[in-house]
Structure 1
Amino acid sequence: MDEIAFGTDGWRATLDTFTDGRVRVVGQAVADYLRAAGRDAPVAVGYDARETSRGFAESLCDVLTANGFDCILPERDTPTPVVAWTVRERGLAGALMVTASHNPPEYNGVKFLPETGAPALPAVTGRVEANLREPEALPEAEHGTVTETDLVGDYLDHALGLADADLSGLTVAYDAMHGSGRGVTDRLLERAGAEVVRLRCDRDPTFGGTPPEPTGTRLGDLVRAVETGEADLGIANDGDADRIGVVTPGRGYLDPNRYFAALYDYLLESHEGDAVRTVSTTFLIDRVAEAHGHTAHETAVGFKWVAEAMLEHDALLGGEESGGFGLRGHLPNKDGVAFALLTAAAEAAEPFDERVRRVLDEHGEVVQDRVSVDCPDDRKEAVLDALEGEIPDSVAGASVERVATVDGFKLLLADGSWLLVRPSGTEPKLRVYAESSSTRRVKAVLAEGEALVKSLV
Structure 2
Amino acid sequence: MKIFGSSGVRGVANEELTPAFVTRVAMAVGSVWTADADGPVRIALGRDTRATGEMFADSASAGLTSVGCDVDRLGVIPTPGLQSYADSEGVPGVMITASHNPAQYNGVKLVGSNGVELARDALERVEDRLLSERFEQATWDETGDTRRVEDARERYVDALLDSVDRETIADADLTVALDPGHGAGALTSPEFLRRLGCRVVTVNGQPDGHFPGRDPEPVEKNLGDLRRLVRTADADVGIAHDGDADRAIFVDETGTHVEGDAALAALAASELQPGDTTVSAVNVSQRLVDAVDAAGADLELTPIGSTNIITSIERLQREGESVPVAGEGNGGVLFPDYRLARDGAYTAARFLELVAERPASEISAAHAGYHNVRVNVQYGDDAERERLIRAAEAAAHDADAELTTIDGYRLDFGDAWVLVRPSGTEPVVRIYAEARDPDRAQELADSMYDALQHA
Do these two structures clear the TM 0.5 threshold for a shared fold by scoring above it? yes
Deviations 1:125-181 (A, max 9, x none): 222222224977422332332221121222222212332243231010111111110
Indicate how the Cα distance of structure 1 residues 318 and 284 shifts in structure 2: closer, same or farther if over 3 A, else same: same
Which residue does the alignment assign to 1:110? 108
Question: Could you state the TM-score of these two structures normalised by the residue count of structure 2?
Answer: 0.90
Aligned counterparts of 2:423 and 2:300: Cα–Cα separation in 1: 21
1:17-416 matched pairs, under 5 angstroms: 17=15, 18-38=17-37, 40-74=40-74, 76-92=75-91, 94-132=92-130, 133=133, 137-149=137-149, 150-166=151-167, 167-168=169-170, 169-208=173-212, 210-250=214-254, 252-268=256-272, 273-313=276-316, 314-360=322-368, 365-375=369-379, 376-381=381-386, 383-385=388-390, 387-391=392-396, 394=399, 399-400=400-401, 402-415=402-415
Alignment CA distance shift 1:102-1:5 (3 Å): same
CA contact (8 A) 1:67 1:137 kept: yes
Residue equivalent to 1:453: 452
Aligned partners of 1:59 and 1:433: how far apart in 2?
37
Runs of 4+ aligned residues of structure 1 deviating over 6 Å after TM superposition are none
Deviation, 1:392, is 5.5
TM-score normalised by structure 1 residue count: 0.90
Supply the distance in 2 between the matched residues of 1:26 and 1:393 (Cα, whole angstroms). 42
* Identical amino acids, percent of aligned pairs: 31
Q: Tell me the secondary structure at the aligned position of residue 181 of structure 1.
A: helix
| CA shift in 2, pair 1:317/1:128, >3 Å | same
Over 3 Å counting, the alpha-carbon distance change for 1:15 and 1:5 in structure 2 is: same
Residue 391 of structure 1: SS of its match in structure 2? helix
**Residue identity opposite 1:55 in structure 2:** M
**1:66 partner letter:** S
3-state DSSP of counterpart to 2:355: helix
Tell me, yes or no, if the aligned pair for 2:227 and 2:255 is still in contact at 8 Å: no
Measure how far apart 1:229 and its partner are. 4.4
Cα deviation code 1:188-218 (max 9, x no counterpart):
1111111111222212221116322212222
Structure 1: runs of 5+ lacking an equivalent = none
Q: Call closer, same or farther: CA 1:312–1:193 in 2, change over 3 Å.
A: same
Could you tell me which amino acid in structure 2 is paired with residue 352 of structure 1? Answer: A
How far apart are the structure 1 equivalents of 2:127 and 2:272? 41
Pick closer, same or farther for the CA change 1:104–1:359 going to 2, 3 Å: closer
- Which range moved further: 78-87 or 50-59? 50-59
Task: State the shift of 1:446 in Å.
Answer: 1.5
Partner SS state of residue 208, structure 1: coil
* Post-superposition offset of 1:121: 3.1
Q: Distance in 2 between matches of 1:36 and 1:380?
A: 37
Alignment RMSD = 2.3
Distance, in Å, in 2 between the alignment partners of 1:115 and 1:165 is 28
In 2, distance between residues paired with 1:366 and 1:162?
A: 33
Quick check: 1:279–1:300 contact (8 Å CA) kept in 2?
A: yes
When residues 377 and 251 of structure 1 are mapped into structure 2, their CA distance, relative to the original with a 3 A threshold, is farther
Q: Which consecutive unaligned segments of at least 5 residues does structure 2 have? A: 317-321
